[in-house]
Amino acid sequence: MSTIACLVNNVGMVLPFELFAGEVDSPNEESIKNIIHCNILSTLIMTNIILPKMLTQKGPNPGIINISSYTALKVTPYLTIYPSTKAFIIQFSRCLAAEQYRKNVIIQTMYPLFVSTNMTDLREATYFTPSAKVYAKSALDMFGVEQQTTGYFPHELKAFVYNLLPTSLWVKIIERTFTPISRQSKKFD
């Protein structure tokens, strides 16, 4: 491999909603370790492998894009471990960017809202919930523009509005969002 233009750390694993709704037992130690390995450790290891090569390259600035989640920026009950691990990604990226700012490596963090993927279980793409392909194109268009971004203009709009809400109202919205999901999952049991 002669040069590396960009590393995209885009991994995510979440526990089933019910584990944090008080309806079944708490997650076991193995589940917690799996989420930490997937959401945190893989990003650290890939960055550790690729960054030294990027630092020795000549030519255009290479970059590392770490995908976090908007849930990392807000109190997000019922998903506790997921947003906590994604908050780590934001802080890791900020610290890494501060270390590398004079070394011509662009470090960028994306924190999208919902994207239509298997993990989100949102099959139908909409304007505010884009397909993975639409989101990826938009996010790559933002490469190098901002150090931290949602990566998708409609997500920026939603984040702006959500950031105006007091935490208590935000939590009520999250509860209303996840209560129907919990009921629907019980129908399939």
Instruction: Supply the CATH number for residue 135's domain.
Output: 3.40.50.720
* Residue 125 confidence (pLDDT): 82
**Is residue 47 domain-resident?**
yes
**Is residue 136 domain-resident?**
yes
> Which domain range does residue 71 map to?
6-187
**Is residue 107 domain-resident?**
yes
**Is residue 173 domain-resident?**
yes
**Is residue 88 domain-resident?**
yes
Confidence tier at 163 by pLDDT (50, 70, 90): very high
**Is residue 1 domain-resident?**
no
Q: Is pLDDT above 90 for 138? A: yes
CB 128 within 8 A of CB 154: yes
**Is residue 159 domain-resident?**
yes
Name 89's Cβ contacts closer than 8 Å, sequence gap at least 6.
Answer: 9, 39, 40, 43, 66, 67, 68, 72, 109
Catalytic-residue membership of 82: yes
Report the predicted TM-score, pTM, of the whole model to 2 decimal places: 0.84
Confidence tier at 17 by pLDDT (50, 70, 90): low
Q: What separation in angstroms does the CA of 116 have from each of 93, 120, 149?
A: 25, 6, 18
Q: How many domains does the chain have?
A: 1
Q: Average per-residue pLDDT in the chain?
A: 85
Q: Is pLDDT above 70 for 24? A: no
Active-site position among 70, 82, 111, 152: 82
Q: Is pLDDT above 70 for 126? A: yes
